[in-house]
Structure 1
Amino acid sequence: MQRFPSAISLFAALSFGMPALAEVTADDVWTNMQAQTRAMGATLTAKQSRTGETVTVEAQTIAWTLPEGIGSLTLTAPGFAMVEQGDGTVQILYQATQTYRMDLVIEGDTATLDVRMDGATPHMTASGDPGDITYSVHVAGGMTAAVSTHAPGEAPVTIDVVVEGGEAEIQYRVTEGPLLAIAGQATSLPGRFDAEMQMGAEVAGTVFGTVGGAESSFELNLPSDGFDILNVAAALRAGLSLDLKSALESSDYTVNLDFYGQPFSEERRWSGANHAHFSLDENRLFYDASGVDAGIVMKGENEFDSPVDIAFEAAAASALLDIPVSGRDDPQPFALRFSFDGLRMGPGLWSLFDPAKAIPRDPASIDLDLSGMVRNRVDLLNFRQFVGDVSGLPEPELISLALSRFAMTGAGTATEATGAFTFDNTDIETFDGLPRPEGAATYEISGVEGLIDTLLSMGAIAQEDALGARLGLGMVTDSVGEDQYRGAVEINEQGHAIVNGQRMR
């Protein structure tokens, strides 16, 4: 958590930067900061005064009006001083203790968030040209923070945080224009944190853990006069875009909760190196993330006072989502992928249904790779059009779908499949209201007979269930070895479904 002179500076400086050199004055810097809040749809007000080369800004008020007039959001941030250095740069100075307050007012009710931070005062310098300013920030590691919240009808919450380490180098560049461009990068060293929470008189908790070194980069383009948060699609067409990349060496944290003074739950989450990439523009929403050596352990009691012991670990995991967000008449590509490798379930869960360890407990895996083309005529991020009657909105049309890979192992079984289909959206009669598919898929299965036998011996399934499963398997596959099966499905242009050479429809 850092302290910066405007809401967008706070967000950007926490994460990113880009160097620049030239001459700016304190007045140029203040104008640049106002441009940032204006692009975020906020109004920035603060008293300022100049004494020689120093411009002092008193406590700032950054205010947003919420959509449809339902309320307002106001951030009160501490003041700062801007000192012109005589070399074309401006040093921005902060007090060692900073206090922030956020007030959310909805239909007359006010919720507040108060934050006080000590230590980790940033050393910040602004340079560049008027309207094109780079902020260079060094943040020493270590800080303390006190957080409190109050909301009507809710128990008050207090959080006290201590951070050790986490020294950071940050640079971000803000360029004014019809689009406000913010771009930057940041690096931080490993750190650890400890927090104590109190939620009313009933619930108390602690959170502690470590975070490895991190790197990030960031590019954000905003319409300079702000945009309608309920119609992001219009802003995207006007140039709004976001691209965020991050890499983290590791993380490990534990959350303990007490209920009326008695231990209630304990949860630990950890991860090795992980990477993430998120981007959004007029054409697409894209997310790609991967990580290794991740896990979660949860222990405690449920609402029936029964013990809970849940644990999962994965040697590696990844996910990708790539979808069009703007409505167009032409088909657009999409993709969905995810995978888990070396997936293990903890003994607490296994013991619930297999205490005798009859089912093989080798690590499981799953790998799915889907892609295709879709015709989407609706701006998905224009939320206003989804209020009220939506029957007039055109439905998306699936044009093609490719299963490049599906592979799953676990419990002594293995399954693989691939396939590709096209869809005729003008024919919704052949398949009872669905677009008529045409294409083929192949699949291989192994170990399923052994799993059926194991489930029978455990009493998990009845004989008639096992018989039904075997009959179904025989209908869609051919045996190609001991407990190994292979099958193929084809749907032709007449709508005939052919399974292993036999017409089934």
Structure 2
Amino acid sequence: MKRFATASALALVLSGPAYADITPQQAWDSFEAYMAGFGYKVSATETGGGDTLTVSAITMTIPVPEEDASVVVTMPDMTYTSAGDGSVDVSMPERSQVVVTFSENGEEQDGRIKLGMTHSGMAMNISGDENDMHYTYSADSLGVTLDEIESPDEVLPPDVLKATVSMGPMAGTADVSKGTDRQTISQEVTYGDIAYDFAFKDPENAKSSGMLKGTLRGLAAAGETTVPLELDYEDPAAMFAAGFAVDATMAHKGGTTEFNFVDGSDTVSGTLSSEAGELGMSMSQAAMTYALSATGQTVSMTVPDMPFPIDARFGEAGFSIEVPLEKSETPKPAGLSILLADFTMADMLWNIFDPGQTLPRDPATIGANVEAEVTPFVSLLDPDAIEAVESQGGVPGELNALTLSDLVIRAVGAELLGAGSFTFDNTDLETFDGMPRPEGEVNLQVSGLNGLIDKLIAMGLVQEQDAMGARMMLGMFTVPGAEPDTASSTIEFNAQGQILANGQRIK
């Protein structure tokens, strides 16, 4: 999984060795230019100079063109002070407020959110030079609370929506390197333990409310973001073509979440937990990769119309996808992986459909890896180009090759394993009714299937005549294995458009 972390404006504000002397003014100008690169218009009042610069009344405005609206963020004051070694220290009030204002059609504000910010033991330093800034930052604790939500007509009562987030201890570094046409932001940060607490009440329905709270331990992130100095966020294709790219990971060491939602007489409540998890993402003009994994996941919840709680556990769960995005004349790699390993659930759930405990209750696993070669005919970041191709009855790309590995389905005493590979002839769309003609084979091994059928018959879930048909199909497409209740099968697609099962033609 590639390393990924979104560039955090707050982290860069809060943040080694000095590479050259910089002034407080240069440090502030660097941050201002950084935010301008992301499309923000920054305004502030600067007082002082020399060894100390105080920046107040900081506002950052970002337009939302598709909504004909804008968002204005008002930040707390910041003080930049020369540290005496060529670097600059940055300080902020221990208690401050961030105000986010929403406006449409250039009119007065349509809504405003006030966030309270607190910190303890914060230390921030900037070193380097104007084109290569190094940030270091740390804090014993950081906290954010939702103080107020206001519309033009009213201020929501404090008990309608509550939100608090705290974290710490926090420490990290960030490097911002500015070139002739782009800047690169690389950073690593540990957030410590994060605690969150959200609650809401429907002001028009006293019987509707909810809460969500929990902790996340040892959260850490790392990654790199490349930002062109001239960037058009309204045109994704142009934005990535100009060099915008992100590559990051975020990982934690376990967490727990409690939730409770009430709607009239119905209540959904429970607990979610995990032992560890990781999220990864990389995206550029060429391709996108996304991966998510977790270990030791458990869920325990009660839902309406269910007389007992739902209890289940995954030993490991994962999902990843890789997609080429750039138009190409030659095949590019793509992939998809999924894993749900060692799934178990409480006996009360099993007893709904298997009260006699006829079926084995061993942990279940489903997983597969698929690697492919595909050729994009247009950039998948350009919706207009995709629409133009589809309007003419075409497709935005083609599948050239596919490899299946690590296929596993294991549950209730039976198991299916498989692997195979295929190539596709996109000039032949007739043999398989519009689908490119495949050529290759897949090998499958199955065990315990006859035993499972016997148990389903004994439970009354399958009729004897239906089971006979299933066994006949199994006999047609498989050959017996060396061990009892095992079989294997090789399904082949040949160059003549034929399908063979273990050498016998079936199409």
- Normalised to the residue count of structure 1, the TM-score between the two structures is 0.88
Q: Which residue of 2 aligns with 1:226?
A: 231
Amino acid at match of 1:401: L
Q: Offset of 1:449 from its aligned partner? A: 1.6
Q: Which residue of 1 aligns with 2:333?
A: 333
Q: Which residue of 1 aligns with 2:218?
A: 213
Change in CA separation of 1:51 and 1:323 when aligned onto 2, cut-off 3 Å:
closer
C-alpha separation in 2, matches of 1:144 and 1:243: 27
Q: Offset of 1:18 from its aligned partner? A: 7.6
Amino acid at match of 1:473: L
C-alpha separation in 2, matches of 1:488 and 1:30: 67
Change in CA separation of 1:280 and 1:142 when aligned onto 2, cut-off 3 Å:
closer
Amino acid at match of 1:471: M
Matched, 1:204 2:206: no
Larger mean Cα displacement after TM superposition, 371-380 or 292-301: 292-301
- 1:19-34 matches, cutoff 5 A: 20-34=18-32
Q: Which residue of 2 aligns with 1:378?
A: 378
Q: Offset of 1:267 from its aligned partner? A: 2.8
Q: Offset of 1:151 from its aligned partner? A: 6.7
Q: The residue matched to 2:164 in structure 1 has which SS?
A: strand
Larger mean Cα displacement after TM superposition, 442-451 or 210-219: 210-219
- 1:82-93 matches, cutoff 5 A: 82-93=80-91
- 1:366-405 matches, cutoff 5 A: 366-385=366-385, 390-392=390-392, 394-405=395-406
* Identity rate, percent: 28
Selected match of 1:244 from 248, 257, 262: 248
Change in CA separation of 1:43 and 1:253 when aligned onto 2, cut-off 3 Å:
same
C-alpha separation in 2, matches of 1:426 and 1:155: 64
What are structure 2's unaligned runs of at least 5 residues?
1-6
What are structure 1's unaligned runs of at least 5 residues?
1-6
Matched, 1:265 2:263: no
8 Å contact from structure 2 (residues 390, 396) kept in 1: no
Q: Which residue of 1 aligns with 2:3?
A: none
| CA deviations over 1:379-436 (Å, ceiling 9, x no partner) | 1122454568842464311101111221121111100111111100000011111101
8 Å contact from structure 2 (residues 81, 90) kept in 1: yes
Amino acid at match of 1:372: A
Q: The residue matched to 1:36 in structure 2 has which SS?
A: helix
8 Å contact from structure 1 (residues 48, 57) kept in 2: yes
Q: Which residue of 2 aligns with 1:321?
A: 321
8 Å contact from structure 2 (residues 321, 336) kept in 1: yes
Q: Offset of 1:228 from its aligned partner? A: 2.5
Change in CA separation of 1:475 and 1:11 when aligned onto 2, cut-off 3 Å:
farther
Q: Offset of 1:52 from its aligned partner? A: 5.4
- 1:37-436 matches, cutoff 5 A: 37-50=35-48, 53-68=51-66, 70-105=68-103, 110-120=110-120, 122-141=122-141, 143=143, 145-149=145-149, 157-161=160-164, 163=166, 166-177=168-179, 178-190=181-193, 192-200=195-203, 201-202=205-206, 203-229=208-234, 231-259=235-263, 264-301=267-304, 305-307=305-307, 309-385=309-385, 390-392=390-392, 394-436=395-437
8 Å contact from structure 1 (residues 18, 184) kept in 2: no
Q: The residue matched to 1:375 in structure 2 has which SS?
A: strand
C-alpha separation in 2, matches of 1:247 and 1:224: 30
C-alpha separation in 2, matches of 1:381 and 1:151: 36
C-alpha separation in 2, matches of 1:42 and 1:160: 26
- Over the residues paired in the alignment, what is the CA RMSD in angstroms? 2.9
C-alpha separation in 2, matches of 1:193 and 1:65: 30
Q: The residue matched to 1:474 in structure 2 has which SS?
A: helix
Amino acid at match of 2:359: I
Change in CA separation of 1:270 and 1:331 when aligned onto 2, cut-off 3 Å:
same
Change in CA separation of 1:397 and 1:162 when aligned onto 2, cut-off 3 Å:
closer
8 Å contact from structure 1 (residues 186, 216) kept in 2: yes
Amino acid at match of 2:82: E
Q: Which residue of 2 aligns with 1:487?
A: 489
| CA deviations over 1:126-177 (Å, ceiling 9, x no partner) | 11101321221111126362354457999955224263x6211121122223
Q: Offset of 1:490 from its aligned partner? A: 0.8
C-alpha separation in 2, matches of 1:270 and 1:448: 34
Amino acid at match of 2:484: E
C-alpha separation in 2, matches of 1:490 and 1:18: 61
C-alpha separation in 2, matches of 1:132 and 1:502: 68
Q: The residue matched to 2:225 in structure 1 has which SS?
A: strand
Change in CA separation of 1:172 and 1:343 when aligned onto 2, cut-off 3 Å:
same
Change in CA separation of 1:315 and 1:18 when aligned onto 2, cut-off 3 Å:
farther
Q: Offset of 1:445 from its aligned partner? A: 1.0
8 Å contact from structure 1 (residues 121, 139) kept in 2: yes
Q: The residue matched to 1:59 in structure 2 has which SS?
A: strand
8 Å contact from structure 2 (residues 24, 50) kept in 1: no
Larger mean Cα displacement after TM superposition, 53-62 or 486-495: 53-62
C-alpha separation in 1, matches of 2:424 and 2:331: 12
Q: The residue matched to 2:337 in structure 1 has which SS?
A: strand
Matched, 1:465 2:466: yes
Q: Offset of 1:328 from its aligned partner? A: 0.9
Amino acid at match of 1:179: R
8 Å contact from structure 2 (residues 389, 395) kept in 1: no
| CA deviations over 1:263-317 (Å, ceiling 9, x no partner) | 822232211133333211222212334332122222232xxx5557333311123
Q: The residue matched to 2:466 in structure 1 has which SS?
A: helix
Change in CA separation of 1:445 and 1:332 when aligned onto 2, cut-off 3 Å:
same
Q: Offset of 1:371 from its aligned partner? A: 0.6
C-alpha separation in 2, matches of 1:389 and 1:120: 56
Larger mean Cα displacement after TM superposition, 361-370 or 182-191: 182-191
Q: Which residue of 2 aligns with 1:447?
A: 448
C-alpha separation in 2, matches of 1:211 and 1:79: 30
C-alpha separation in 1, matches of 2:376 and 2:186: 31
Change in CA separation of 1:496 and 1:111 when aligned onto 2, cut-off 3 Å:
farther
C-alpha separation in 2, matches of 1:151 and 1:430: 62
Larger mean Cα displacement after TM superposition, 194-203 or 485-494: 194-203
Q: Offset of 1:366 from its aligned partner? A: 2.1
Q: Offset of 1:24 from its aligned partner? A: 1.2
Q: The residue matched to 2:98 in structure 1 has which SS?
A: strand
C-alpha separation in 1, matches of 2:299 and 2:432: 43
